[in-house]
Amino acid sequence: MSSDPSRAEALVSKIQVFEPHKASLPPMGPYLREFWRRRRFAVELARFTDKAEHLDSPLGSVWLVLNPLLLAMIYFLLVTIIGGRGSAGSSRFDVLAHILVGLFTWYFAQNCMTFGGASVTAGGKLILNQAFPRALLPLSSLIGAFQKFIPTLPVYLIIYLIGGALDSKSKLPGLNWHLLWIPVMVALVAISGFGLALLFATMNVYFRDTSKLMTYGARMWLYLSPVLWMPDMIHGWHRILIWANPLGPILSITNTVWIKGENPSWTLWLGATGWAFGLLLIGGYFFVSRERDFAVRI
Amino acid sequence: MTLQYASKPEMPEGLAVRIEELSLRYKINVESKMTLKNAIMRAGRGEKRRVRTIEAVKNLSLDIPHGTVMGVVGANGAGKSTLMRAIAGILPPTEGRIIVNGKVSTLLALGVGFNGTLSGRDNIILGGLAAGLEREELEARFDDIASFADLPNGFIDMPMRTYSAGMYGRLAFSVAVNMTPDILLIDEALSTGDAAFKEKSFEKMRQLCLEARTIIIVSHALGTLNELCNKALWMHQGNALAFGNATKVTDQYLEFLNVGKVPSALEDF
């Protein structure tokens, strides 16, 4: 941090030139520099938005954990009622543990999509009146979703350990070295989530009903993802459900690490990394190449 | 339609803003809301999207030296606000280019207060961070901003949706002028404050001019503009009709308002 930020800033933004553009990227060097320099804005926006949301709800943050917990209970009941006893010999708690960790991970990505998707249209006034790298708005949604996700991890760990110990039929591995993969897994979900946020934020500017459609789309996507069912349940060409699904590989990795206690295969890692950076590149290109039009479209 | 200048722009010493053959066009949707549903239904009927191209600014060239206080006048829809947004770098030019020398602070239709559920304090910090200021710098200036805005007791920590239009305007103005901008852009914000605050804002703007800062004001209050500005620009349907001495231009504009006709001598400007 320089001792005199205003002086440093004056040097950066001394002469600016505004010129016409095609539907292509602005010079990425200066863009990313400005993006990084103003990251504090994204952090504070996430914090303030959170504050505004919970002003009138003392249970606000509790709900963040409670909501997926209750949903997991509902899905668990559904799955066990419809599926009967499930596959032979498997413990019911293991199924619950799988659904729960899948839902927590899923909600992290879905929050990125929903909040990120609305971030640009919600920041209308700011976009009309201030010039700044617009990608900071979806970034702020990512930070917000991350802050909502983090408290669910210790909650899950407690349920996971206590339930695994109480249920004699449980085959959960408990604490094991593979759990050290968690930071990598979270990072991959975050990168995918940011890509999705950029993508849907842009779509929402052009088609205002995107966020409405997304509610249904996300629900369908959830059913097609290995959250309510185990990734091992499908075989042969049905496995395309996992590979063609941007969140399929990472959700399978989550299952492998937490439920099976094994090292995920390198193909899964490759799939998850590929989707994460693919989404980031596609979403980033889509967003940044069009963001100069946002002020007209809003 | 692109004009990419490879060379670094040359900017004469003493110029704050240089506008070169600037044109701004954008399309607006004539039809109802832009939704995916409508787009699909339209495609099903084989219709095209009905859009109208608005030429907000047509081939405008202008040099604004440092220390100028320029008023912009014109009827509604003349392209004044679009021009301001282009100078601020919010709207990209369709043709031509704009070179800006210095830090721009915008007060365009009330920049702060984009989130009504947050307090004035939070909005100031968010707006400042988006403008590229450092958090520490903002905290340091916060007292100046708050005391200049001089809101009724405790309002600075209340949600901004509880503010009256006047309070909104006071805070927005206070933020814009206290960011120590080199170029201050003000769009129709002077009318919201009461008489005492108006006097205070004049004082502040005069002071900013003395420090050789540049101010561009869009307003319909011609008396105010005459009092504050040394230059004025009259825009009409995207064209610059007159640029020069403030009282002269506002007189011409006033005559146009009364007569309702664009003076033919000015049309080629």
Contact B110 A132 (CB under 8 A): no
What whole-number distance in Å separates Cα of residue A286 and Cα of residue A134? 12
Domain that holds residue A127: 58-297
Residue A57 — very low, low, confident or very high, per pLDDT cuts 50/70/90? low
Question: Chain-centre distance of CA A297, in angstroms?
Answer: 26
Q: Determine the Cα–Cα distance for residues B240 and B19; give it in Å rounded to an integer.
A: 12
Q: Smallest Cβ distance to A209: which of B36, B122, B131?
A: B36
Chain B's closest residue to A293, CA to CA, is B91
A49 touches chain B (CB under 8 A): yes
Is there a contact between B71 and B80 (Cβ–Cβ < 8 Å)? no
Please measure the distance between the N-terminal and C-terminal CA atoms of chain A and give it in whole angstroms: 35
Do the interacting molecules here have an ipTM over 0.85? no
Question: Which of B82, B83, B84, B90 should we substitute to test contact with A (largest number of A Cβ atoms within 10 Å)?
Answer: B90
CB contact under 8 A, A9 and B11: no
CB contact under 8 A, A125 and B114: yes
Shortest alpha-carbon distance between residue B151 and chain A (Å): 22
Q: How far apart are CA B36 and CA B176, in angstroms?
A: 38
Inter-CA distances, B268 with B108, B239, B242, Å: 29, 9, 10
- Provide the residue type at A70 as one letter: L
How far A88 CA sits from the closest chain B CA (Å)? 46
Does any domain span residue A32? no
Burial B21-31 (b: 16+ CB within 10 A, else e): ebbbbbeeeee
Q: To the nearest whole number, what is the mean pLDDT of chain A?
A: 83
pLDDT tier, A5 (very low <50, low <70, confident <90, very high otherwise): very low
Q: Which stretch of DSSP H or E encloses residue B73?
A: strand B69-73
CB < 8 Å to A15, chain B: 9, 11, 99-101
**Pair type for strands B95-101 and B104-108:** unpaired
Torsion angle (degrees, nearest 10) of CA A49, A52, A56, A59: 30
Distance CA(A86)–CA(A170), nearest Å, equals 14
> What would the 3-class secondary structure string for A6-49 be?
HHHHHHHCCEEEECCCCCCCCCHHHHHHHHHHCHHHHHHHHHHH
In CATH, the architecture of B65-266 is: 3-Layer(aba) Sandwich (3.40)
Distances (CA, A) of B161 to A78, A128, B107: 44, 19, 19
- CB-nearest to B35 from A16, A208, A292 is A208
Which residue type occupies A164? G
Residue B97, sorted as left (phi over 0), alpha (psi -120 to 50) or beta, turns out to be beta
Q: Are B256 and B250 in contact (CB under 8 A)?
A: no
The mean per-residue pLDDT over the stretch A155-162 comes to: 88
- Three-state DSSP class for B40? helix
A131, A208, A213 ranked by CB distance to B90: nearest: A131
Q: B13, exposed or middle or buried, with CB in 10 Å at 0-12, 13-18, 19+?
A: exposed
Q: Is the pLDDT of residue A297 over 90?
A: no
Q: State the residue for tokens 């620009």.
A: B233
CA distance B117 to chain A (A): 6
The token duo for A34 is: 């400005």
Kindly tell me if the per-residue pLDDT of A86 is higher than 60.
Answer: no
CB contacts, 8 Å: B133 with chain A: 5-6, 9
A33: contact with B, CB 8 A cutoff:
no
Among the listed residues B89, B242, B85, B112, the one whose alpha carbon sits nearest the alpha carbon of residue B179: B112
Nearest CB to A18 within list B98, B115, B137: B98
Confidence of residue A270 (pLDDT cuts 50, 70, 90): very high
Q: Tell me the H-state helices in chain A.
A: 5-12, 28-37, 39-54, 60-82, 92-122, 124-129, 136-149, 152-166, 182-206, 210-224, 240-243, 248-255, 266-290, 294-297
What is the model's pLDDT at position A14? 67
**Which residue in B83, B117, B119, B171 has the most chain A C-beta atoms within 10 A of its own C-beta, making it the best mutation to test that interface?**
B117
Torsion sign over Cα B70, B74, B78, B81: positive
Q: Taking the domains of chain B in order of start, what are their residue ranges?
A: 65-266
Residue A10's pLDDT band, with cuts at 50, 70 and 90, is very low
Residue A19, pLDDT > 80, answer: no
Cβ-defined contact of B100 to A18 (cutoff 8 Å) = yes
Residue A55 contacts B where some CB pair is shorter than 8 Å: yes
Task: Report the C-alpha gap between A231 and A248 in whole angstroms.
Answer: 9
CA torsion B87→B91→B94→B95, rounded to 10°? 10
The model's pTM is 0.83
For residues A272 and B35, which has the higher predicted lDDT (pLDDT)?
A272
Distance CA B29, CA B32 (A): 8
Chain B residues with CB-CB distance to A47 below 8 A: none
Q: Which residues pair with B60 in a beta bridge?
A: B22
Cβ distance of B122 and A13 shorter than 8 Å: no
Torsion B102-A22-A291-B22 (CA) sign: positive
At residue B190, the pLDDT reads: 59
Judge: B129–A16 Cβ closer than 8 Å, yes or no.
no
- Report the C-alpha gap between A256 and B226 in whole angstroms: 74
Residues in chain B where the model's pLDDT stays below 50: 1-7, 109-110, 265-269
Split at pLDDT 50, 70, 90, the class of A12 is very low
Neighbouring residues of B164: CB distance < 8 A, sequence distance ≥ 6:
none
Task: State the pLDDT at residue A202.
Answer: 92
Using alpha carbons, list the distances in angstroms from residue B145 to A99, B89, B149, B176.
51, 24, 6, 9
Residues 109-168 of B with CB under 8 A from A: 109-111, 113-115, 117-118, 122, 125-127, 129-137
Which chain B residue shows the shortest CA-CA distance from A125?
A: B114
Residue B253: name the closest of B230, B231, B235 by CA. B235
Q: Which residue is listed with tokens 């249920």? A: A167
Contacts of A129 in chain B (CB under 8 A): 88, 90, 106, 108-111, 114
The C-alpha atoms of residue A130 and residue A5 are separated, in whole angstroms, by: 20
Residue in A38, A40, A207 nearest the CB of B39? A207
Q: What are phi and psi of A17, to 5 degrees?
A: -120, 130
Residue B152 pLDDT: 83
Between A22 and A205, where is the model more confident? A205
pLDDT of res. B192: 66
Whether the Cβ atoms of residue B213 and residue B67 lie closer than 8 Å to each other: yes
CB spacing of A22 vs B102 below 8 angstroms: no
Residue A147 within a domain: yes
* Structure token digits, residue A40: 């504090």
The pLDDT score that the predictor gives to residue B162 is 85
Q: Which ranges of B5-134 does DSSP label H, i.e. alpha helix?
A: 36-45, 80-87, 120-130
Residue A212: predicted pLDDT: 83
Give the pLDDT confidence of A199-236 residue by residue, as tens digits: 999 999 888 888 888 889 999 999 999 988 888 888 88
When pLDDT is averaged across residues A95-120 and rounded to a whole number, the result is 90
CB contact (8 A) between residue B130 and residue A132 = yes
> A14 to chain B: which residues are within 8 Å by CB?
101-102
CA distance A257 to A175: 10
Question: pLDDT value at position A110?
Answer: 93
Tell me the chain B residues in contact with residue A40 when contact means C-beta distances shorter than 8 Å: 129, 134-135
B100 touches chain A (CB under 8 A): yes
CB contact under 8 A, A40 and B135: yes
Residues from chain A contacting residue B96 (CB–CB below 8 Å):
20
Domain membership of residue A6 (yes or no) is no
Q: How many domains are there within chain A? A: 1
Structure confidence by residue, pLDDT tens digits, A230-253: 888 888 888 888 889 999 999 999
Residue A58 confidence class, pLDDT cut points 50, 70, 90? low
Mutate to test the interface with B, among A22, A25, A296 (most CBs of B within 10 A): A296
